[in-house]
A = this chain, B = another copy of it.
Amino acid sequence: MKKTTIRDIANEAGVSVALVSFVMSNQSRSADKVYKVNETTSRRILEIARRLDYRPNKAARTLRSGKTNTIGVVLSDISNKFFADIARCIEDRAYGYDCTVIFGSTDENAGKLENLVKVFMDKGVDGLIVVPCVGSERFIRSLADSDLPLVLMDRECSDVNTSRVMLNNGAALSLAVSALADNGYSKIEMIAYDMRLSNIVEREAGYRSKMEEYGLSDNVAIHRIPYKDIYGQIREVVVSALARGVEAFVFATNTLTIAGLKVLSDLGVTVPEKVRIVGFDDSEAFELYGTSITYVSQPVEQFGIRALDLLMEHISGGDPLSRKTVMLQPRLVVGNSSQ
């Protein structure tokens, strides 16, 4: 019941282990490739391998070759729907690359991020996909300077020469503002996070510049909510904004959108009669809300797919100068909440 090794096959076939190894590795190449190995021998070896149910020992292969066929993905929180969806896409696509994936969640904590990356490197990964968090910039820069292939996702990190896949965050909030301004609303306020994450910063910039474009500079108001007690914080903001006669809210993230809708619902403020909103990201929660939600949609699956493809490109050589930035475009889904 011991696992069969390359040596067992060699004995059985009466050839050297080297030849078996050669045949086995060529096997995984293109099917139409003509082996340089004698075809009869090769066929015999393959046959024996199948009969003995040969499974290459990955640890030995890794030790020898240095390749692990494993990649590490460091994201904020895998139980968050956005990242869970991305994780799923990466998992599926990695399968095609004959590659397994290990995930880690940072909870927006730079220390955890650093630690996770170290654990993954110790474990042995061929490359890393990382969602930066506040405070991790320096570490990520040093990481990029090492020779481990790296792809950044969802959030920028300045002065890092590597590939990345990002959302056009400015465009996302421009779409949100336009959706409301085009319906004649001008008192549009933004609810964002306190955190200085690049994507949040860019979304704020998108909001601001679009407001200016509509000549609404004087109405610009960005509310930066601390990461804890979101509901309570938003409630305060909403109450005072309503008192000032706000006409609409745009939200910087999905979590903020849900919390905002919950607040409005609890306050008995109907949408879109009393106030208009444009959300961020889709959510199954929207379906149970009374009115259909207008929201900015991200091509979630593209995050995973493109990031993995870029990483694989790095891993399989590819000159370091060919680093690419993939900019994903947001899309507006129009519902009644912005009418």
Q: Which residues of A contact B (CB under 8 A)?
A: 55-60, 62-63, 68, 70, 77-81, 84-85, 87-88, 91-92, 95, 100-105, 119-124, 258, 261-262, 265, 283-290
Contacts and interface: CB of A to CB of B under 8 A. Distances in A.
Contacts of A84: 78-81, 84
Nearest to A79: B88
A77 B70 CA distance: 20
Give the top 4 A-B pairs by smallest Cβ distance, nearest first.
A285-B285, A59-B62, A79-B88, A84-B84
Given A55-B122, A58-B124, A87-B103, 20 more contacts: A56-B122, A57-B63, A57-B124, A58-B122, A58-B123, A59-B59, A59-B63, A77-B88, A78-B78, A78-B87, A79-B81, A91-B103, A101-B103, A258-B287, A265-B288, A265-B290, A283-B285, A285-B285, A285-B288, A286-B288
26 contacts: A55-B122, A58-B122, A58-B123, A58-B124, A59-B62, A59-B63, A59-B68, A59-B124, A60-B63, A63-B63, A78-B84, A78-B91, A79-B81, A84-B84, A91-B104, A95-B119, A100-B119, A100-B123, A101-B102, A101-B103, A102-B102, A103-B103, A258-B284, A261-B288, A283-B285, A285-B288
Contact of A285 (B60, B92, B120, B284): B284
A290 B287 contact: no
Contacts of A288: 258, 261-262, 265, 285-286, 288-289
Contacts of A78: 78, 84, 87-88, 91
Contacts of A289: 288-289
| A79, A87, A104, A265, most chain B CB atoms within 10 A | A79
A322 to B, nearest CB: 23
A55 B119 CA distance: 10
A12 to B, nearest CB: 21
Nearest to A65: B59
A110 to B, nearest CB: 17
A120 to B, nearest CB: 8
A172 B224 CA distance: 41
Nearest to A290: B290
